[in-house]
Amino acid sequence: MMKLFLQWLLVVCLLAALLDAACGAEPQKDRCVILVSVDGLAGFYLDDPVAHMPTLRRMAVEGARAAGMVCSFPTVTWPNHTTLVTGVEPARHGVLGNNYLDRSTARNIPLIVDPLFDKDEIVKVPTIYDVAHAAGLTTAAIVWPATRNARTLHFTVPDMKGNESWARYGTTSWLAELREAGVPVDRHGTWVEQSGGGVQRDWLYVRMAAHLLQKHAPNLLLIHLVEVDHVQHREGPRSADAYWSVSYADSCLRDLVDAVARSPRAARTTIIVTSDHGFFPIDVEIRPQVLMRKLGLRGGPQPAAASVSQGGACAVYILDQARRKQIADQLAELFQATRGIQAVLKPAEFSRIGQPTPDQDPRAPDLWLSAESGFSFSDAEAGEDVLVPRASRAGTHGYLPDQPDMLGTLVLWGHGIRSGVNLGKVKSVDVAPTIAALLGLEMPDVQGRVLHEALAP
C-alpha cells in the first residue's frame, strides 16, 4: 500500500508540474536580472592563470559557469547580441552579420552601429525585453546592439556614434537625471571617437547601471562593455594589453556587484556575465575581391560578384543572375584551394550554421567563407596578391563558432543560481530562455533551452 501511495503521489506531483508549465509562471516583479556582455571576452580567459579576474572567478565558484559557450555564426557583435536576447539563430532573428550587401545597388549596408535601422526593422522575433515589457516588468539597456528606438525598453541609450545619438534615441528623462547626478553622459560621443575611449565608456556604463539599480529598480537590465574587444582587435588575444583589458573588465564587474549590493533588490538580483565571441590572432589578410577582379567579375558599374568581410568570415554575393550558379561554383572551387580558408559553405549547408539561404532572405549571400586562425578577410581589391601579410599581429573574430578559442563566456551568479555548477559547453541561444525562467516568463518558439541545472529550486 505504501508503494502504491508513493507512486500515486509521484504521478500527482508530475501532473502538477506539467499544469504549472502549461499555465506559465507568474512574472517576478520583485526580481532583477542583469545581463552583462563583455564584448570579446573569450571563454579561455576564465581558466587562464595569467588573466587577473578575481570578481568573475568568485562569481563562477559561488554560482554556475559554462566550460565554453558556442556563439552564432558569424561570430561578430550584432548578430550575437541579438541571439543572446532572442534565443534563436540569425536565420530566425534576421540580423545576419555586422553588415550585408544590397543586391540591387551592390552597396555594403552597415548594421553596426545602428546607423540606419530601428530595432523593429531588423529584429524579426520577440526579444527577452519585449516579453518582459509585455508582462509588466521594467526593462533597460545600456548600449545594447540592435536596440535603436526599441519601444519596449523603459530606459535606454543605444550603441551608436555621435554626440547627437543619445539625445535623439536615448531616454530623455533618464539622461536628465544622470546629468543632475553628475554622471558625465554628454562626454559619451567624444569618448566613442577616441582611441582607447572604451575605458571611459565602460566606466560610464557601469555608473549609469548603478543609477538605474538604485533609483528605478529595473527587472531586466542589459549592459554591453566594449574595451576588451577593442584592445584585442588592436593587439591580439593573450597579449599584454589583452590581459590588462580583461582585468579592467573585471574591475567593472566588481563595481557593478557593489552597486547591486546597494540597490533595493540586492537580495533578489541575478547577474549573468557573458560574451559574444572569442578571439583569434591574425597575421595575414585574405582579399577575395582581388581574386574576383582578376576573373573579370569586378569591372563596370554593376560588378558580377562582391564580398562582405565579417573578420574571420566572409559573405560572397553573386550579382550576375544569368551566370549565378556558374560563378558560384567557380569561386567555391578557387576559395577551397586558397591557403587560410578553412571552410567554403554553399546554401545547402547554411542551415547548419544558422544562416538563411538567398531564397529565404535576399540579404543572405551565395557563399559563406570561414578562415583559419591567423587569417582574416578584407574587402580590399587593389594589388595582385590575394594573401597579404599584415605589418603587425592583431586579432579578430567571425570564424566558425565551435572552436576552443572562439567560445564565449557564461557565468551566472546571485539569486536563484545554484552554487558550484559547471554547465559544460552551452549555446548562446540558451541565455534568453534562462533569463525568462528567472523572471517567471516564457520565451515562445526559441531554439535554446532553459539551463535548469544552474537554477536553484
Does an H or E element contain 68, and which? strand 68-70
| Average pLDDT value over all residues in the chain | 94
What pLDDT, on a 0 to 100 scale, did the predictor assign at position 214?
97
β strands within 183-290, DSSP E: 220-225, 269-274, 280-286
Round to whole Å and give the CA distance between 417 and 192: 35
Percent of the chain with pLDDT over 90: 93
> Where are the alpha helices (H) located in 240-302, listed in sequence order?
240-261, 288-294
Spatial contact of 264 and 360, defined as CB atoms under 8 Å apart: no
Instruction: List pLDDT tens digits, range 167-189.
Output: 999 999 999 999 999 999 999 99
C-alpha cell at 60: 563562477
What pLDDT, on a 0 to 100 scale, did the predictor assign at position 23?
38
Does residue 4 have a pLDDT over 70? no
What pLDDT, on a 0 to 100 scale, did the predictor assign at position 210?
98
Does an H or E element contain 343, and which? strand 341-345
Superfamily of domain 32-97+113-279+401-454: Alkaline Phosphatase, subunit A (3.40.720.10)
Where, residue-wise, is CATH 3.40.720.10 in the chain?
32-97+113-279+401-454
State mean pLDDT over 112-136: 98
Backbone φ and ψ for 33, nearest 5 degrees, come out as -120, 125
Round to whole Å and give the CA distance between 423 and 67: 7
* Residue 25 confidence class, pLDDT cut points 50, 70, 90: low
Does residue 193 have a pLDDT over 90? yes
State mean pLDDT over 265-280: 98
The CA dihedral of 93, 99, 102, 105, to the nearest 10 degrees, is 160
Which residues have C-beta within 8 Å of that of residue 197, sequence separation ≥ 6? 190, 191
Does residue 82 have a pLDDT over 90? yes
Give the number of other CB atoms < 10 A from CB of residue 184: 14
C-alpha cell at 27: 512574472
* Residue 36 confidence class, pLDDT cut points 50, 70, 90: very high
Where, residue-wise, is CATH 3.30.1360.110 in the chain?
281-396
| CATH topology assigned to domain 281-396 | Gyrase A; domain 2 (3.30.1360)
Instruction: List pLDDT tens digits, range 249-264.
Output: 999 999 999 999 999 9
What pLDDT, on a 0 to 100 scale, did the predictor assign at position 15?
27
Look at the chain and count its residues.
457
Which residues have C-beta within 8 Å of that of residue 112, sequence separation ≥ 6? 76, 77, 78, 98, 99, 145
220: left (phi over 0), alpha (psi -120 to 50) or beta: beta
State mean pLDDT over 204-230: 98
Instruction: List pLDDT tens digits, range 295-350.
Output: 999 987 789 999 999 999 999 999 999 999 999 999 999 999 999 999 999 999 99
